[in-house]
Structure 1
Amino acid sequence: MPHIVIEHSTDGHASFDATTLMQALHEAAAATGVVQAEDLKIRAMSYATYLVAGKRDGFCHVTLSLLEGRTPAQKVALSEALRAAMVRLLPQTKSLSVDIRDMDAVAYKKRLLG
């Protein structure tokens, strides 16, 4: 169920490979033990039009949405693991950030085809 959404600038990186970043984030999140690798869904969106603090500095922002119930320590572990993966792969990118969001377990609905 956890969803990782990567939002990033189209420029401002020494190099940017979305597939490599998605795999690294997948591995980093799973390695924490807080989420299960087989449950992760990851996607990336690029932005050609953006400002960071009023400038066209490169950015990469990751949002991890997961059902509520994790402890603050578990969320910090996820956030730090994801940020570390980003720092490793995007060392020249000006702005790297991570947001962990709780989803309401009662309101969240999904459908899967078998």
Structure 2
Amino acid sequence: MKDIEGQPTMPHLVIEHSNDGHGGLLDVTKLMKALHDTAADTGVMKAADIKVRATAFENYLVAGREDGFCHLSVYLLEGRTPAQKIALSESLRETLTVLLPQTKSLSVDIRDMDPIAYRKRLNN
């Protein structure tokens, strides 16, 4: 899993979540670590390459109501098979379900990044 310059891919796990609506069970650090580990365990990406970040929302509506939500966007350089993406999505959704059983809306979206346009800089 290399990018076009031969560097390791850098998958991004971006968590967006409501501040409330989780029945007091939302521990963002624990959630980030669990999603990182789940993603790595699928074999679709290497643990050392994964970037995880989370953003909380105070103002939101889910189907017109203030129901709790947690949405995970996964950004990968293209090249994974549909089966790999499905397995990754289902594994990550299961982790969300286990950690946030009282949250109204849990979702995962897998996105392919364009390797022609993707650029990064590593400062070593």
Q: Give the alignment's TM-score, normalised by structure 1.
A: 0.99
Distance in 2, matches of 1:75 and 1:43, equals 20
Could you tell me which runs of 5 or more consecutive residues in structure 2 were left unpaired when the two chains were aligned. 1-9
Runs of 4 or more above 6 Å deviation:
none
Counting matched residue pairs gives 114
Matched, 1:4 2:16: no
**Equivalent in 46, 57, 68 of residue 58 of structure 1:** 68
Instruction: Find the counterpart in structure 1 of residue 32 from structure 2.
Output: 22
Q: For 1:1-114, what aligned pairs fall within 5 Å after superposition?
A: 1-14=10-23, 15-114=25-124
- The CA RMSD measured in Å over matched residues stands at 0.4
> What's the CA shift string for 1:3-32, capped at 9, x where partnerless?
000000000001211100000000100000
Instruction: Find the counterpart in structure 1 of residue 5 from structure 2.
Output: none
Distance in 2, matches of 1:16 and 1:48, equals 14
Deviation at 1:94, TM superposition (A): 0.2
Of the two, which has the highest radius of gyration? 2
Distance in 1, matches of 2:47 and 2:87, equals 15
Deviation at 1:2, TM superposition (A): 0.2
Deviation at 1:61, TM superposition (A): 0.1
* Counterpart residue identity of residue 109, structure 2: D
2:76 is paired with a residue whose SS is strand
> What's the CA shift string for 1:56-95, capped at 9, x where partnerless?
0000000000000000000001101100100000000000
Kindly, what percent of the aligned residue pairs are identical? 66
* Counterpart residue identity of residue 36, structure 1: K
